[in-house]
């Protein structure tokens, strides 16, 4: 069965390469037309997921997308993006410009398909561990302790929590050799023990552990893991205050057989990536769209159909789409105090740091762990075990234990719901684009 599946994927790749050779994608990067941004136009034969591929390349470069115009009707894809760097300057770096051309232009025909960038790819550097389960204070500390006991060193990790659920992608190596862990018995033991930790005392929701020797696109994979874990489902008691929820609407434009998704929310890093990722993974195709990001509020409008060509055709489907987009927007919003740790890497560092957090009754709501050149640069978003802002005395005590120069406070301990903190590795979206909305021109009928 696995052989047949692999052969099918190889055939898909060969067919896709043939189509791209016959209709090579074209990328035009223009620094003259727009006064304040670089204009990137991508033309290509259309396929499911191509919008996400383009957005993924741009966001992985930490480019700020200030506007976007999307059109993919008639078998051809054309996107126009206005982008800047993180300092709001045009993109003049030849290295970045060449990378965009290579990743999205005609040269990309010779590279592996990006559409399976969430799949496991072989890695010579580490073993990948994917975890999903019920969130609770101290969970990251417990997971780290298990890995340390099993002689595993965490070199990279990203952890998200949302709606009582937690998901993590962790890259580990053997403590003694620094190589990936490939022994089947050892991998099985890692999987079993971590699954026991994730289950905890929760008997109603399951836990899942996947261990593999390979790489994935971490952020997109986290979206898929939380979606599969149904983190978008809320009980009546868990519903957010209406003022805090993103404004997501879905209406049908019956004359054209489109469903129109409109998103209005506070701007934050990688918002476009998150929403397009979710639409793609839910098997919707974006035929047209507009994005504007030049102010404190973001506006996105997408004209979509399901991959089978049908618009949203029931109240239940509409409600599920809204819930999933809300969840995609909320997952990356990090409530709480942001702490940055920068020090020489060593085996057990993550375990020691998170143990100190746990002993001081702190809960980690999101974390990014990176190791480069022997340096560990970790970002943690924390609040107390009850979900409240962290007391200043507690932070002082933790910094004394870890090291005042090693652990820096990058946020404030005010009400986290009013001051969501963002990672320094993220970039900014923003703005409200109303003038070209067909919905606002009353050309689209409300969903019924």
Residues 220 and 141 in one domain: yes
Residues 346 and 225 in one domain: yes
Domain boundary among 311, 331, 351: 331
- 225's CB contacts (< 8 A; 6+ apart) are 130, 132, 167, 169
pLDDT at residue 112, rounded to an integer: 42
pLDDT at residue 190, rounded to an integer: 94
In contact, 64 and 293? CB cutoff 8 Å = yes
Residues 97 and 131 in one domain: no
Helix (H, G, I), strand (E, B), or coil: what is residue 176? coil
In contact, 29 and 39? CB cutoff 8 Å = yes
pLDDT at residue 427, rounded to an integer: 28
How far apart are alpha carbons 328 and 226 in whole angstroms? 9
Geometric angle at alpha carbon 20, from 18 and 22, rounded to 5°? 70
Residues 65 and 31 in one domain: yes
Helix (H, G, I), strand (E, B), or coil: what is residue 162? strand
Residues 139 and 219 in one domain: yes
What is the torsional sign of CA 109, 20, 66, 56?
negative
Total number of domains constituting the chain: 3
Residue 86 belongs to a domain with what CATH number? 3.30.70.260
Residues 90 and 205 in one domain: no
Helix (H, G, I), strand (E, B), or coil: what is residue 443? coil
Geometric angle at alpha carbon 274, from 272 and 279, rounded to 5°? 95
Domain boundary among 277, 307, 331: 331
How far apart are alpha carbons 142 and 136 in whole angstroms? 10
Residues 151 and 226 in one domain: yes
Q: To 10 degrees, the CA torsion angle through 94, 105, 287, 283?
A: -100
Which residue segment(s) compose the domain that 92 sits in? 14-108
Which tokens belong to 101? 């051309």
pLDDT in tens, the chain (448 residues): 445 544 554 555 555 555 555 567 899 999 999 999 999 999 988 888 899 999 999 999 999 999 999 998 777 889 999 999 988 999 999 999 999 999 998 776 544 443 334 444 556 789 999 999 999 999 999 999 999 999 999 999 999 999 999 999 999 999 999 999 989 999 999 999 999 999 877 666 778 998 887 778 999 999 999 999 999 998 655 555 566 789 999 999 988 899 999 999 988 889 999 999 999 999 999 999 999 988 789 999 999 999 999 999 999 999 999 999 999 999 998 778 999 999 999 999 999 999 999 999 999 999 999 999 899 999 999 999 888 899 999 999 999 999 999 999 986 544 434 334 433 333 222 232 333 444 443 344 444 3
Residues 217 and 142 in one domain: yes
Helix (H, G, I), strand (E, B), or coil: what is residue 169? strand
Which tokens belong to 354? 């998170």
Residues 327 and 342 in one domain: no
Q: Is residue 304 part of a domain?
A: yes
Residues 35 and 71 in one domain: yes
Residues 102 and 32 in one domain: yes
Residues 221 and 349 in one domain: yes
Domain boundary among 305, 331, 357: 331
What is the torsional sign of CA 185, 191, 193, 194?
positive
How far apart are alpha carbons 196 and 70 in whole angstroms? 45
For the chain, the first-to-last Cα distance in angstroms comes to: 44
Q: Is residue 437 part of a domain?
A: no
CB neighbourhood size of 80 (10 A): 16
pLDDT at residue 285, rounded to an integer: 95
């Amino acid at each position: 069965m696995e052989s047949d599946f692999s052969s099918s994927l190889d055939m898909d790749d060969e067919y896709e390469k043939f189509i791209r050779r016959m209709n090579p994608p074209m990328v035009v990067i223009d620094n003259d037309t727009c006064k304040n941004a670089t204009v990137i136009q991508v033309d290509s034969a259309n396929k499911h997921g191509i919008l996400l591929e383009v957005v993924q390349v741009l966001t992985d470069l930490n480019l700020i997308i200030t506007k976007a115009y999307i059109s993919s009707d008639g078998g051809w894809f054309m996107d126009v993006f206005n982008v800047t760097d993180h300092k709001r300057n045009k993109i003049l770096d030849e290295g970045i410009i060449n990378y965009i051309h290579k990743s999205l232009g005609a040269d990309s025909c010779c590279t592996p398909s990006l559409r399976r960038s969430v799949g496991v790819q072989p890695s010579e550097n580490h073993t990948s561990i994917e975890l999903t389960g019920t969130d609770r204070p101290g969970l990251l500390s417990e997971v780290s302790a298990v890995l340390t006991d099993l002689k595993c060193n965490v070199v990279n990790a990203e952890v998200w929590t949302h709606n009582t659920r937690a998901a993590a992608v962790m890259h580990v190596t053997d403590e003694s050799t620094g190589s990936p862990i490939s022994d089947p018995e050892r991998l099985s033991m890692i999987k079993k023990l971590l699954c026991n930790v994730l289950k905890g005392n929760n008997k109603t929701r399951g836990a899942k552990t996947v261990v593999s020797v390979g790489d994935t696109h971490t952020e997109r994979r986290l979206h898929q893991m939380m979606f599969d874990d149904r983190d978008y489902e809320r009980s009546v008691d868990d519903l957010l205050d209406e003022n805090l929820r993103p404004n997501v609407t879905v209406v049908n434009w019956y004359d054209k057989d489109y469903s129109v998704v409109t998103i209005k929310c506070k701007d934050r890093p990688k918002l476009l990536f998150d929403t397009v990722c979710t639409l793609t993974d839910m098997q919707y195709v974006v035929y047209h769209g507009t994005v504007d990001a030049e102010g404190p509020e973001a506006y996105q409008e997408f004209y979509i159909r399901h991959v089978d060509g049908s618009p949203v055709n029931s109240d239940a489907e509409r409600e599920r789409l809204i819930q999933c987009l809300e969840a995609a927007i909320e997952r990356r919003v990090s409530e709480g105090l942001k702490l940055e740790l920068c020090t020489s890497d060593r085996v057990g560092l993550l375990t020691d740091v998170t143990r100190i957090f746990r002993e001081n009754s702190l809960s980690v709501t999101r974390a990014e762990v990176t190791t480069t050149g022997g340096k560990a640069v970790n970002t943690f978003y924390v609040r107390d075990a009850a979900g409240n802002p962290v007391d200043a005395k507690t932070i002082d005590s933790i910094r004394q234990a870890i090291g005042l120069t090693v652990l820096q406070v990058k946020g404030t301990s005010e009400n986290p719901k009013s001051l969501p903190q963002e990672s320094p590795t993220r970039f900014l979206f923003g703005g409200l684009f109303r003038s070209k909305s067909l919905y606002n021109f009353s050309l689209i009928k409300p969903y019924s």
